[in-house]
Structure 1
Amino acid sequence: MRRRTKINIKPKHVFITCIVLCICLILFSFRYREKLDPVKEAVGSVITPMQKGINSIGTYISDKLDNFRSINELLDENAKLKEQVNILSYENKLLTQDKYELDGLRKLYELDQKYIDYPKVAARVISKDTNNWYNVFTIDKGSRDGLAKNMNVLAGNGLVGIITEVHYNYSVVRSIIDDNSHVSGMFIKTDDTCIVQGDLQLIDEGKILATFINKDAAIKDGYEVVTSYDSSNFLQGILIGYISDIKLDANNMTKTAYLTPVVDFERLEEVLIITELKEPLMDEPPVE
């Protein structure tokens, strides 16, 4: 078998040949320009529509790529904005919570100043009964904090209730709106007494009862009721609420009125406990 002869052409010869050919074509086009016009027109009539089609396709693809790029940029920006919104929302919740806590502490401070003569301990409400009202609830302070049964509990502008159970690190409070609550009250302006009686049905209207008011008591709507001096467990002078709708009872001996508490028993978060117990009445001093 005969082997093919390998033709070896140097690149520079190919380059020179291409240059010469291009020069010849240029000279030829100048020399016979008029004769080549029909050919140019024929070629142009074929190529021009193709160029327009190619240009329109290229423009369409370029526009779509630009739109796709813009969509991706918007999605990235939207994701960043959502993250910023989440961060700002979280920070706003923290600020709102801090504000509520600050407001609560400010109210406790004002209440503390109102009854400054009594030693007090602050506590947080940690649980309550299943109804809508804080008639019986638990606080996060107990015997290790110096609390004892029958200590008075305050919030808002006055009396909440009394401690009924004390454990090592928590205590149970019964408020004045509970059905089992009876507090000896007194009208500041007249010194007439009454019994403030809890009523869980009536508290839905924002009221409880003030009963056993002397029929001759010169009281009016809006008068303040505080804890009485003759109460066995409640310290004297703690604001309970304001009376309204005074009516003479059927026995013509006593009056009954509604009492609007000064404490919001739908919302209780922090309370103050007076750590001083009322001294019981005794005929003789205890033997030591």
Structure 2
Amino acid sequence: MTFFKNKLAVTIIVLSVSFLILIGVSVKREKASAVENGVGSVLNLIQEVVYKSADTVKENLSSIFSFSKIKQENDELRRKNIELENKLIEYNSALKENESLRQMLDFKNQNSEYSYEGCNIIGKSGGNFLDGFIIDKGSKDNIRKGMVVITPRGLVGQITSTASNWAVVQSISNENIAVSGMVESTNETGIVKGYKDADNKLLAKLYFLPQDSAVKKGDVILTSGYGNFYPKNIRIGQVVDIEEDKGKIMKNAIIEPYVDFNKLEELLIVIPKDIRDIKY
């Protein structure tokens, strides 16, 4: 009987100790879980910051690479644009040159009784182009005083002096140069001389038209060809105004020349087949 009592006491003690141990382990586990949870929370926060930082860096790097690529593409587009602009300039220049050559060829074909010599301007003979300009052809090229100089757009002027390898040309805007002119629409003739308006614009004026002349603004003035001095039908300019000189019972037509004397290019000297036709 005593044995069973002792065994029961031992059993109760063992169970009690085991229960206490389990309680202790549970308490420690709960404390550990709290620490683990705290550490986990901190780690999670750090991980979140790291991930966000990585995303930001990634986005910034992506933006940098993207900007670099865009800049490279823009530089390439800019280069191509410059190339296209240069090609357009070359095309327009070639087109203009071809048009000038075509106009020259048309004039030559329509006036085959003359020969033509191309020349370039190499200087001025005075303070400005009104005083005349120098060309790179002279007497050794059979160029003579009195010969006519033209461009594809129309009449420039007349050679007034020559040397061996150069000559002086005075334009029709110079008052010392006189040209026999004709109104294309009426065939009425007069004398064209240089003229400057109140603003010093280089113009010309067709003098001695009849009082009842039907000349009007917009009419085209051509060389008449009288006296074999200038070839016929060279374009001189367009009428921009009409004057009535009642005292002399006549009209004068103010002309704007087709040629821009500040931008002279592609000059041609008109040479008669028989240079004895030139009247000095």
| Structure 1 vs Structure 2 CA RMSD | 3.6
2:147 to 135, 145, 151: 151
1:270 to 266, 271, 277: 266
* Cα separation, 1, equivalents of 2:156 and 2:246: 28
Amino acid in the other structure paired with 2:205: L
User: Do the aligned partners of residues 40 and 168 (structure 1) sit closer, same or farther apart at CA in structure 2, a change above 3 Å counting?
Assistant: farther
Query: How big is each residue's C-alpha offset from its partner over 1:171-193, in whole Å with a ceiling of 9 and x where there is no partner?
Result: 32111111221223456788765
Q: Compute the displacement of 1:53 (Å).
A: 1.2
Matched, 1:179 2:175: yes
User: Do the aligned partners of residues 88 and 192 (structure 1) sit closer, same or farther apart at CA in structure 2, a change above 3 Å counting?
Assistant: closer
* Cα separation, 2, equivalents of 1:202 and 1:111: 34
* Cα separation, 1, equivalents of 2:147 and 2:82: 45
Rg larger for: 2
Query: How big is each residue's C-alpha offset from its partner over 1:94-151, in whole Å with a ceiling of 9 and x where there is no partner?
Result: 22221221122122112222322211122344555776x7773333433443322221
The aligned counterpart of 1:11 is none
Amino acid in the other structure paired with 2:75: A
More helix per residue: 1 or 2?
2
What residue ranges of structure 2 are gaps of 5+ in the alignment? 1-25
Q: Compute the displacement of 1:266 (Å).
A: 4.9
User: Do the aligned partners of residues 52 and 180 (structure 1) sit closer, same or farther apart at CA in structure 2, a change above 3 Å counting?
Assistant: same
Matched, 1:166 2:151: no
Matched, 1:69 2:61: no
The aligned counterpart of 2:277 is 279
The aligned counterpart of 2:12 is none
Matched, 1:81 2:83: no
* Cα separation, 2, equivalents of 1:173 and 1:280: 16
User: Do the aligned partners of residues 102 and 189 (structure 1) sit closer, same or farther apart at CA in structure 2, a change above 3 Å counting?
Assistant: closer
Note the 1:2-21 alignment, pairs <5 A: none
Report if the CA contact (8 A) 1:135-1:265 is conserved: no
Q: Compute the displacement of 1:57 (Å).
A: 1.5
Q: How many residues align?
A: 246
User: Do the aligned partners of residues 228 and 247 (structure 1) sit closer, same or farther apart at CA in structure 2, a change above 3 Å counting?
Assistant: farther
TM-score of the pair, normalised by structure 1: 0.68
What residue ranges of structure 1 are gaps of 5+ in the alignment? 1-31, 282-288
SS of 2:104's partner is: helix
Note the 1:1-288 alignment, pairs <5 A: 35=29, 37-127=33-123, 136-156=132-152, 158-185=154-181, 193-201=189-197, 207-213=203-209, 220-221=215-216, 222=219, 224-230=221-227, 233-235=229-231, 238-241=234-237, 245=242, 247-252=244-249, 254-276=250-272, 277=275, 279=277
